[in-house]
Amino acid sequence: MRRPLVVGNWKMRGSSHVIHALLAAMRPGADTISDVDVCVCAPFVYLDQCSRQLAGSRLMLGAQNVGNHEPGDYTGEVSASMLLEFGCRYVIVGHSERRHHYGESSALVAARFASALRHGIIPVLCLGESLRERKSGSTCNVVNEQLDAVLDLCGVASLQRAVVAYEPVWAIGTGHTASAEQAQAVHAHIRQRIRRLSAEVADSLQLLYGGSVKPDNAHDLFAMPDIDGGLVGGASLDAAAFLAVCNAAKPLS
């Protein structure tokens, strides 16, 4: 059975004071959830603070992006080796906001993915389509192109050390919400596409859903057979809401 995983993405939000209070409220509850892996991805400038505050906790730390180069003359980038120094276990790559606002191509995302793997950090690879692409029936084509860029560069075996998150762009902060059945259909497509290359990798891969996951829809989403947890945005900035989502991911006994 695949172990559930919930990843909180704080995006470009918070302050030192806010994050300290958030982790103080979140950590005790997260430490009692033994059957779900829980991670929070903080802005770069707060990684040191979070690393210190989470020392000894089951709550893991992640980053929101990673450079595709080793340390060198790349002003403004943060390398995987730097993230490793702060104890980052996970890193988000290819988030829709990076693809849309900063023009990150699937090839660049794949290079970032590879960089994380070289240093033993687990990349959370984001895939997803816009509302226009969904309405045109292009969802699977878009997801395939984004996934294939990683498979072509790193091979299917690389997914054994990675996580994939389906995040429909049209369901992130737009008021639109994907139903559990809509999310499951794309998750099943992703797993089946990987299965064509390796049944072993497909069966063990953690697939997360990342489209406005909240306490009121988490149970229905996580009950789907191919949804193994969530990539949580806004709800991860509320300790009680985030812990409720984490508890919703617990396997049924």
Active-site residue numbers?
95, 167
Euclidean distance between CA atoms 6 and 236, whole angstroms: 10
Collapsing DSSP to helix, strand or coil, 86 comes out as coil
Asked if 168 contacts 132 with a C-beta cutoff of 8 angstroms, the reply is: no
How far is Cα 142 from Cα 137, in angstroms, rounded to an integer?
10
Find the radius of gyration of the CA atoms of the chain: 17
* Identity at 141, one-letter amino acid code: N
Pairing of strands 5-9, 229-232: parallel
For residues 214 and 236, give the distance between their C-alpha atoms in angstroms, rounded to a whole number.
9
Q: Measured between alpha carbons, how far is 185 from 251 in angstroms, rounded to an integer?
A: 21
Residues in the chain: 253
Distance (Å, whole) CA 15 – CA 4: 29
Dist. CA 146–CA 193, nearest whole Å: 12
In contact, 246 and 240? CB cutoff 8 Å: no
What are 157's two structure tokens?
């075996």
Residue 77 CA from chain centroid, whole number: 20
